[in-house]
Amino acid sequence: MSASYTPRGKYFEQFAIGDTAQSAGRTITESDIVAFAGLTGDHSQIHTNAEYARSTPFGQRIAHGLLGLSVGVGLLVQVGFIEAPSSPFAS
């Protein structure tokens, strides 16, 4: 039995200026930040210490930049904007 694979993604050259897509919404929660800090080992005070973060220009804890980037990539995959045009698992 062979599996059929139809790629949904695009090569870079296939994107045109002005292309748009709409993804689902995604709220970054406190538990996301805590989990990401634990996963990466980045326990910087701006991310994990509410008292310290209050004294910064942000006024509160902020999400890791790479957490935001990672969530953004996940949303792009869900929309189908980026997915491997071919799969090594397709037969």
Domains of the chain, by residue range, sit at: 27-79
Give the three-state DSSP class for 54: helix
CA dihedral 58, 33, 26, 5 (to 10 degrees): 140
* Options 3.30.43.10, 2.60.40.1730, 1.10.600.10, 3.10.129.10; CATH of 27-79: 3.10.129.10
Q: Are 8 and 79 in contact (CB under 8 A)?
A: no
User: Does the pTM exceed 0.85?
Assistant: no
Give residue-wise pLDDT tens across range 6-63.
666 777 788 899 988 788 899 999 999 999 999 999 999 999 999 999 999 999 999 9
Q: Are 78 and 8 in contact (CB under 8 A)?
A: no
